Structure 1
Amino acid sequence: MIVRDFGTTGLRVSALGFGAGHIGSPDLGEDEAGQLLNHALDLGITLIDTARGYGLSEERIGRHLKERRGEFVLSSKGGYSVENVPDWTPENIRLGIERALRTLQTDVIDIFHLHSCPLETLRQEELLGALDAARQRGEIRVAAYSGENDALAWAAQSPHFGSLQTSVNVVDQWSLRSVLPGAAARGLGIIAKRPVANAAWRFSERPTGQYEEAYWDRLQVGGLTPGDLDWDEFALRFSTFAPGVQSVIVGTAKLERLTHNAALVARGPLPDAEIQRVMEAFEPYVGQWPGEV
């Protein structure tokens, strides 16, 4: 497994991270969740990403990986959904982190993100101060922001943040072009989400009203094809080795898919000519397609 320095944070992460959203679904059995989490570590994956809003995810990570906590970098998100406390307040940050530590059965969360709040919220000094205080107390190691567009660009310039999480894929290049170069120069860690563009190519017809709809539209307009590769390999290798990206997070509920993803990443970056082809296909739409939120 490829391992990379995570900006200037002092952390090291695998190029392929595990997005633990699927782990939170009650449709996934407890034993299956435990097998999947442990298999990720057995493959050499050293970044596990979760969030307060991912159902049972934090609870299951704590239950099944507490004895292996030293083997991975733990990333979570919050700022909302603390009972009887307004969202996006200092008290919510403080209590949310305390609860996450208990639920995850850990003494520290390595990377804690404000989870896709808008710019006007992100800029609140009291909110940022609560993150700084959590870091000073040793409850989190790196304060981070997960989101897109103007809020992401602001976070990339703020001294309060040491890491960013943002969409990077073949049809979502706004962050890759507009934010990541400067963020990498400042030493921020970068986690890329949606690296396989929600597998929008699966649909023969427009998935109207579904999560994949915007990406499906972009694929049609851009006319992009995967060349001689399968779509999943083409997309995953593009995102994993995009400039500035230290780790991509991919979620799955299937052991075989997780193993397959690790094998794809091990094949390394796409040829330069293929990368250039992807960038050129997107070039006419840079100003029209913001980061997909």
Structure 2
Amino acid sequence: MTVATLHGLERPLGSSGLLVSPLGLGTVKLGRDQGVKYPASFRIPDDDEARRLLALARDLGINLIDTAPAYGVSEERLGPLLRGQRDAWVIVSKVGEEFENGRSRFDFSPQHTRLSVERSLKRLETDRIDLILVHSDGNDVAILRDSGVYQTLAELKREGKIGAFGLSGKTVEGGLLALEEGDCAMITLNLGERSELPVADYAAAHGKGILIKKALASGHACLQPGDDPVRASFELLFRHPGIGSAIIGTVSPKHLSQNVSTAATVIRLKSY
């Protein structure tokens, strides 16, 4: 049986110059099992399991990987795991949130922003990160206007240390402001939460990038009644012209393959 993949379905992430697969692999589960909101418990995979998961993602046509300093040891693990594969991946990381001793803390200052990016470069064993997003605490507009984080990211982009920047936010106002001066916004969009759709609409009209977080409501969508809630979720996402990629966080090879097959089917049917 031929397995549906995402090969050939890459799409531009706005005008950032990045070409991304419609699904990206979220890696919080590679580094952190505290303070997460998944419906079922999980075990952080060992290096061999993580290596096989990444190889499967590549085989299925995924080229986007999403990580963050707040994802425990995710960045530190990805550096060695991705050795020799750098050009095969679009790497997204973040600044602003740290997770220590079971709690998050936030720092959006220029000093910490630069320190965070330099640290991520070392952890990921790379000389560039394709996209850095501000990991918002919810005060999107104040962060963007008052902290200096965006100005620092613009400097790092000019220095060639990052390729693009934007905001992983929580409000429409923040998402719109992020796109005015940045390259990309990561928004929440799923069957039960559609309030940030205006951000995707703006992105489509202005050549900006959109990534989707919680596309399956952190796994809760899979528990909803209906014939195929995953397919319904992807139909919602991929009919919108502004959306570049949806980040799916899983450590299950079975779930990863099923998600890719469903997304590929939805996208190919949409193109006819």
User: Structure 1 length normalisation: TM-score?
Assistant: 0.77
Report what 1:291 is aligned to. Answer: none
1:270 CA displacement: 10
CA deviation string 1:40-59 (max 9, x = no partner): 11211011111110012111
Q: 2:67 aligns with which of 32, 46, 50?
A: 50
The answer for unaligned runs of 5 or more in structure 1 is 204-218, 220-224, 273-293
Q: Which consecutive residues of structure 2, in runs of 5 or more, have no partner in the other structure?
A: 1-5, 34-43
The structure with higher relative contact order (CA 8 Å, sep 6+) is: 2
Amino acid at match of 1:14: S
Q: Deviation at 1:101? A: 0.2
Map of 2:195 onto structure 1: 174
Instruction: Quote the Cα distance in structure 1 between the aligned partners of 2:162 and 2:220.
Output: 35
RMSD between aligned residues: 2.3
Alignment of 1:94 onto 2:114? yes
**Paired position in structure 2 for 1:137:** 159
- The number of residue pairs the alignment matches comes to 246
CA contact (8 A) 1:101 1:108 kept: yes
2:85 is paired with a residue whose SS is helix
* Residue of structure 1 in register with 2:88 after alignment: 71
Displacement after TM superposition at 1:245 (Å): 0.5
Q: For the Cα contact (< 8 Å) 2:96–2:136, is it kept in 1?
A: no
TM-score, normalised via structure 2 length: 0.83
**In structure 1, distance between residues paired with 2:127 and 2:55:** 20
Identify the residue that residue 112 of structure 1 maps to in structure 2. 132
- CA, structure 1 residues 131+256, in 2 after alignment: closer, same or farther (shift >3 Å)? same
Native 8 Å contact 1:240 1:248 kept in 2: no
Larger CA Rg, structure 1 vs 2: 1
How far did 1:21 drift?
1.2
Match status 1:183 vs 2:203:
yes
The alignment partner of 1:248 has SS state of strand
Structure 1 residue matching 2:196: 3-state secondary structure: helix
Which residue is 1:39 aligned to? 56
Percent identity of the aligned residues? 33
Distance (whole Å) between structure 1 residues aligned to residue 149 and residue 13 of structure 2: 24
Q: Cα distance, 1:242 vs. partner?
A: 2.8
User: How far has the Cα of 1:243 moved from its partner?
Assistant: 3.2
Contact residue 186 and residue 213 of structure 2 kept, 8 A = yes
Distance 1:112 1:106 in 2: 14
Select 1:19's aligned residue among 16, 21, 26: 26
2: distance between equivalents of 1:86 and 1:267?
40
Residues 240-288 of structure 1 deviation map (CA, whole Å, 9 limit, x = unaligned) = 333311100101111111111110011125989xxxxxxxxxxxxxxxx
Distance between the aligned counterparts of 2:98 and 2:214, measured in 1? 24
Asked if structure 2 preserves the Cα contact closer than 8 Å seen for 1:195 and 1:240, the reply is no
Of residues 210, 229, 232 in structure 1, which corresponds to 2:230? 232
Give the 3 Å change call, closer, same or farther, for CA 107–237 of structure 1 in structure 2: same
